[in-house]
Structure 1
Amino acid sequence: MSKVMQVMEEKFMPIAGRIGSQRHLVAIRDGFVSIMPLMIVGSLAVLVNNFPVKAFQNFMVNIFGEEWTSVGGNVWTGTFAILALLVVATTSYHLAKSYNADGLSAAVVSLATFIILTPVTPDFGLSYEWAGAQGLFVAIITALITTEIFRLLYNSKFTIKMPDGVPSGVVKSFKALIPAIVILVLVSLIQALFVLIGDTSLHEIVFNTIQKPLQSLSDSLPTALIIAFLNHLLWFFGLHGTNILGPIIESIYMPLIIKNQELFSAGVSAFDVPHIVTKPFFDSFVFMGGSGTTLALIIAVFIASKSAHYRSISSLSAPAGLFNINEPIMFGLPIVLNPMMLIPFILGPIVLTITSYLALSLGLVPKTIAMLPWTTPPIVSGYLVTGGSWRGIALQVINLAIAIMLYIPFIRAVDKAELKNQNTAA
């Protein structure tokens, strides 16, 4: 075990650390984080509109009329329907700020670039088909490339410089003028070529060749297991696995939950929506208490441990753990770089990924149809994320029981070692 730990520390951790701090991946991650409040509001609107309780639906109709769901529909239009527009702006902003360039100007130019590349409807309106989740990959590519070109031109000598005394907002606007002209003209020429040569668009090419195949692969048990394994392996070595893998998880799994929401809003049952593995799938059924299902670890400590140290750490960590915040237990027990906890910390989430996937794929539990704050406590999240089904709660309880049983033998082993150390010290 010590040799494996040494190899991982020397070879794996430096690579993972560099990936986690890579500015483009960080910009994508921060871009999604910036719009997360809107995603949660949009999900709650879908959930309220389609809450599967007949008495609630009748009550709303009697009070507000048959069109009461139009309010939630409008909220969805302002959130998920323009997801790609939001992501291109926020990702560009964060990437430009990492270079100390004008983030607002970069975001505006990137947004304009994306709109140029987006097909229009017959009446010359912006197509929601590509402004939402289906245009997500083009949004990310556009944000990264446009911002790189923008910051190179913005920091070059080919900009308009204003005299001293001019307000800073005006100075920034004129400095961004030439970069904006160059980028928008160049992108307009590219879009014209797409239309002229193939009567197609960059959106269609990227969606059919990259995004669609990746989403098909991601909505599978093997891919879900890889995500679960890598996330916890990174965490074990003290690296924030959720943040490092965040750009991948958000880019691939966000369109899947949005597709489920669209169909659920159209009246399709949560059992019959297509996608099993989504971000809420991990948050609600695997990461209960945080990565490693550490809520189960806290409960296992109370059941099996006699060590004052472990019980006090668990007592302090329990309130945060209920809201899926697990840094106190991760570094206080500790789990990080603790070989005795490596197996249950990684094996537990892998087992729960399998049980959750089977439960949803066999139709025992509805699939996920709502984005919730990641701090939503278990039981509540299981109910809401499955469209108000008790089966989601039941799956969470079963998964917690499985994780507790996996943790208990290892807790007893480390507890014996801890008590022996305490007796020796005494």
Structure 2
Amino acid sequence: MKKFFDWMEEHFVPIAAKIGSQRHLVAIRDGFATITPIIMAGAFATLFNNLGWKRYQDFMSWLLPANWKDFGGGIWNGTFAIMSLLVVFTISYHLARSYDKDALSAGIVSLAALLILYKQTEDGAIPLTFLGGRGLFVALIVALVATEIFVKLSGNPKLIIKMPEGVPPAVAKSFAALLPSIIVLAIVAGVKQIFAALGVIDLHQALFTMLQAPLQGVMGSLGGLLVLVLAQQFLWFFGLHGSNILAPIINAVLLPLTEANVRALKNGVAAEHIVNSQFLDSYVNMGGSGVTIALLIAIFLVGKKSKSQKTIANLSVGPGMFNINEPVIFGMPIILNPIYFIPFLLAPLASGFIAYTLTAIGFAPKVVVMAHWTTPPILGAIISTNSIRGGITALICLVVSIIIYVPFVRMSVRKEQETLVKVENTHSI
């Protein structure tokens, strides 16, 4: 086992660390993080409209006017419904800022470029179909490519229109971005015309059919879920922030599945997808990656003899209740700890498998509402499934995870006590 860890630390960790700090992936991660408050507002508006208790619905219909759901629907239209427009700007903004370029102009240009690529409806409007999660792939590509071109052009002094001194900075900045912006938009418009000449009239539909839908089918399956969880835990175990490194994949592929389920709830139809980004937060990442809230409970149950682990557990349980587990990850530590390697992998895998199975057989409803990742375990599952059965499913996952951790906590305590005895014997000699 030690040879394996040494090999992974020497060969795997440096590569994974470079991937995690790659500027384009960081921009995607930060871009999605920036719109999180907007998306959560839309999620709670959907929950406000569709909370699954008949008494609540009857009470709201009695208390408020007949069109009371227009309130939540309006918030939906400004959040989930335009997710692609929001994220193309934020990703472009963060990417341009990483180059120390005009991030605001880059974001505006990328947004304009995305709007150019939409196939207009018969009355000349932008179709709503691909403004939300279904259009995320095109939004990601446009944000990265348009920003890269804009950044390169902005670095060319021949394309910068310099204004005389005394001109307000905002005006001077806009003129400096004028020619690069025109060139970027002209390139995008030209690409659209080329594809149209080749018979691809709707780029969004073509990319969704060829790329996004197949990827969602793979990642939204049980096998895709288990592979994703395994990769996340491996990264964490070797000291890399697995959640952040995989965030671009989760947001690009699984977030649209969450959005589709939320939209289904809004429209009063059955949700389709079992696995989505919220599924991970509701069942797999309880207490943080590795279901570490189960480890803390296991320590309180069978690890009291270890003063160090009990101290770490006491300090970690507060943040752990809100799915923040860095104190236990780095304090225990779990990183490169061979004793906790197996349960750290098994607990989230078991939780994902159990939750998927119980959802597939109809015991737990599908996840249809986004809850913030800091929502306490079990409560987050109740909110996201709009049902107490989601909370029961999360509780089952938690109990199984505790059972998985218990023997390893005992093993860790025993090893710690043996080490202390050896130290005391050495000092007595």
Does TM, scored on the shorter chain, surpass 0.5? yes
Residue 131 of structure 2: aligned partner: 131
1:276 match: secondary structure: coil
Could you give the per-residue CA deviations for residues 329-357 of structure 1, whole angstroms, max 9, x where no partner exists?
11111101111110000111111111111
Aligned-pair CA distance for 1:314: 0.1
Residue 298 of structure 1: aligned partner: 296
Aligned equivalents of 2:296 and 2:336: distance in 1? 18
Alignment check: 8 A CA contact 1:310 1:333 kept: yes
Residue 276 of structure 1: aligned partner: 274
Aligned-pair CA distance for 1:422: 2.7
The 3 A distance-change label for structure 1 pair 199 and 350 is closer
Alignment check: 8 A CA contact 1:113 1:142 kept: yes
Aligned-pair CA distance for 1:95: 0.3
Aligned-pair CA distance for 1:168: 2.1
Aligned equivalents of 1:249 and 1:118: distance in 2? 24
Aligned equivalents of 1:8 and 1:168: distance in 2? 51
Mapping of residues 274-423 of structure 1, within 5 Å: 274-305=272-303, 306-387=305-386, 389-423=387-421
Could you give the per-residue CA deviations for residues 167-201 of structure 1, whole angstroms, max 9, x where no partner exists?
32122111100001111122122223333442612
Could you give the per-residue CA deviations for residues 48-102 of structure 1, whole angstroms, max 9, x where no partner exists?
1111111111111122122100010010000010000001000000000000010
Could you give the per-residue CA deviations for residues 199-242 of structure 1, whole angstroms, max 9, x where no partner exists?
61221221111111111111101100010000000000110000
Residue 251 of structure 2: aligned partner: 250
Instruction: Give, as a single letter, the amino acid of the residue that structure 2 aligns with 1:229.
Output: L
Aligned equivalents of 2:404 and 2:356: distance in 1? 19
Instruction: Give, as a single letter, the amino acid of the residue that structure 2 aligns with 1:122.
Output: E
| Deviates most, 289-298 or 303-312 | 303-312
Alignment check: 8 A CA contact 1:118 1:131 kept: no
Aligned-pair CA distance for 1:396: 1.1
TM-score, normalised to structure 2's length?
A: 0.96
Residue 37 of structure 1: aligned partner: 37
Alignment check: 8 A CA contact 2:283 2:381 kept: yes
Instruction: Give, as a single letter, the amino acid of the residue that structure 1 aligns with 2:216.
Output: Q
Residue 105 of structure 1: aligned partner: 105
Alignment check: 8 A CA contact 2:200 2:206 kept: no
Alignment check: 8 A CA contact 2:88 2:140 kept: yes
Alignment check: 8 A CA contact 2:118 2:202 kept: yes
Residue 18 of structure 1: aligned partner: 18
Alignment check: 8 A CA contact 1:110 1:143 kept: yes
1:198 match: secondary structure: coil
Aligned-pair CA distance for 1:326: 0.3
Instruction: Give, as a single letter, the amino acid of the residue that structure 2 aligns with 1:230.
Output: A
Aligned-pair CA distance for 1:25: 0.5
Alignment check: 8 A CA contact 1:329 1:335 kept: yes
Aligned equivalents of 1:288 and 1:20: distance in 2? 23
Mapping of residues 162-311 of structure 1, within 5 Å: 162-198=163-199, 200-268=201-269, 272-305=270-303, 306-311=305-310
Aligned equivalents of 1:199 and 1:333: distance in 2? 55
Aligned equivalents of 2:61 and 2:399: distance in 1? 41
Residue 59 of structure 1: aligned partner: 59
Kindly tell me the number of residue pairs found equivalent between the two proteins. 422
Whether 1:160 aligns to 2:158 is no
Alignment check: 8 A CA contact 2:363 2:389 kept: yes
2:130 match: secondary structure: helix
Gaps of 5+ in 1: none
Aligned-pair CA distance for 1:278: 0.7
Gaps of 5+ in 2: 425-429
Aligned equivalents of 1:165 and 1:345: distance in 2? 61
Instruction: Give, as a single letter, the amino acid of the residue that structure 2 aligns with 1:356.
Output: A
Aligned equivalents of 1:361 and 1:212: distance in 2? 20
Aligned equivalents of 1:239 and 1:320: distance in 2? 19
Alignment check: 8 A CA contact 1:297 1:404 kept: yes
Please give the root-mean-square deviation of Cα atoms over the aligned residues, in Å.
1.1
Residue 147 of structure 2: aligned partner: 147
Alignment check: 8 A CA contact 1:119 1:130 kept: no
- Identity, % of aligned pairs? 46
